[in-house]
Structure 1
Amino acid sequence: MPHPDADDLAPERRFRDKPVSFVRRSGRMTDAQEGAWEHLAPHYVIDVERDAAATSIRPGTVIDPVAVFGRDARRVVEIGSGQGHAIVNAALAHPDTDFIAVEVFRAGLARTMLDADRVGARNLRLVEANAPEVLEHLLPAESIDELWIFFPDPWHKSKHNKRRLVAPPFPPLAARALTGGGLLRLATDWEDYALQMREVMRGADDFAPAFEGEWAPRFEGRVMTAFERKGLAKGRDIRDLVYRRADRT
């Protein structure tokens, strides 16, 4: 996800009483991306009811994943899917699993649709919305088997750290959507954010580490993207974490 300029937050803050963890960027799309919205969105994009803001979801709005995908299968959700490189690759590699990409960057979603259509990945759906609202309102409780958050915006300036997605309010939302035994996978190339993630999850009663030692091994199911290569090229360590949702009683 692109690093934000705080001045760009006005369109979303106008309607919200909580800070959002993204900047809504609505720049001009290419003709191919516009065509994707016209021709591919009916299959790939989940139409949601909005609240006041452009990327909000009306409370009480819940999808039926079986109806959305036409089957009952294992489900994975990626938050902040960017241009879709990781999730399109995963959907193609695992046709028996259903995938949902959550992103606010419309051009990125358009690119995701184009790539998914090109390789024939039909077990993928997209949601253009604020991730916490997807977890709180759109997904049924206990409806997903894995939740992925790879390289979320680090909000690296200390005055903006409060906008980070993985913060104390986040684990209960993730726990609500995950099945008992479901996995939350995290990855970042910013050391202080990795430390924050680990501290936040250490205090999450509904989760336990699914790894030994300080950090989890790199998730083999995550394709190496240009974004990850860029972090490595700048000398940053990539840190993975994975947590298991406690079994429900």
Structure 2
Amino acid sequence: MTEPTSTPEQPLEHRRTIKSFVMRAGRTTLGQQRGIELGWPKFGLELSDGLRDFDQVFGRQAPRTFEIGFGMGHSTLEMAAAAPEQDFIGVEVHKPGVGALLSGLLSQNLQNVRVYSCDALEVLRECVADASLDRVLLFFPDPWHKSRHHKRRIVQPAFAELIRQKLKVGGVLHMATDWQPYAEHMLEVLSAAPGYRNLATDGAYVPRPAERPVTKFERRGERLGHGVWDLKFQRVD
């Protein structure tokens, strides 16, 4: 991707950044559209609202999880239903997934999830206070397999620092991927990032945590002999 030329109206710090995702033109089903229409007024949050007091948003103080890219929302729904005492903030750019999650929240009558439909990094920068999150989840992000696309990977030193700022001391960044080279990249980046401690006893990967739901995609991969790598890094300062 070629960076745009800086102009007086577009200073260097406001140049367009490389995105870790591609906006796909997926078809939204009637059920997903209904989920958006009925669920967004109740569960949707807007980037333009800026910094939020999530205690006020949820109406309580509770452990708070921020999920980057929830896909179709299946794992989010399962985690939220299993932990009603916790709050979840999910971010996804693709409308069918947003609609599916909102539909699930309505059908299951869950109250502990709020949703953004935009770039998760922008939400973290503009809407989330420093040292306010207990967990950040990044499950199966696009690995951008080709070398020339590695710059698009979301896990980079700047990402690690942004997450560290938003986590409470003691908070945890939990990542998972089914692409071993990306797992190795994640491990390298976070191991070099200041202010983190790897929770793996061997300094590499943790066993699949019970709180991370197993997806249909993951089960299929296991049957085909594919691996999955989980990483947990805790903010220590």
Farther off after superposition, 234-243 or 144-153 = 234-243
Secondary structure of the equivalent of 1:169? helix
Give the alignment partner of residue 114 of structure 1, picking from 81, 103, 109: 103
CA-atom RMSD in angstroms: 1.6
TM-score (norm 1): 0.86
Preserved contact between residue 152 and residue 188 of structure 1 (Cα < 8 Å): yes
Other-structure match for 2:179 = 190
Secondary structure of the equivalent of 1:147? strand
Secondary structure of the equivalent of 2:205? coil
Q: Name the larger-Rg structure.
A: 2
Preserved contact between residue 35 and residue 106 of structure 2 (Cα < 8 Å): no
How far the C-alpha of 1:237 sits from its partner, in A, is 0.9
1:68-217 paired onto structure 2 within 5 Å: 68-213=57-202, 214-217=204-207
Q: For residues 36 and 136 of structure 1, what CA distance do their matches in structure 2 show?
A: 27
Percent identical residues: 38
Number of equivalent positions: 224
Q: For residues 167 and 143 of structure 1, what CA distance do their matches in structure 2 show?
A: 21
Q: For residues 66 and 147 of structure 1, what CA distance do their matches in structure 2 show?
A: 17
Secondary structure of the equivalent of 1:88? helix
The amino acid that maps onto 1:131 is A
Q: For residues 163 and 230 of structure 1, what CA distance do their matches in structure 2 show?
A: 26
Listed as ranges, the gaps of 5+ residues in structure 1 are 1-5, 7-14, 50-57
The amino acid that maps onto 1:68 is V
Secondary structure of the equivalent of 1:243? strand
Secondary structure of the equivalent of 2:157? coil
User: Structure 1 stretches (4+) deviating beyond 6 angstroms?
Assistant: none
Q: Deviations over 1:140-194 (max 9, x none)?
A: 1111100011111111111111100111211111011100100110110000000
Secondary structure of the equivalent of 1:216? coil
Listed as ranges, the gaps of 5+ residues in structure 2 are 2-13
TM-score (norm 2): 0.90
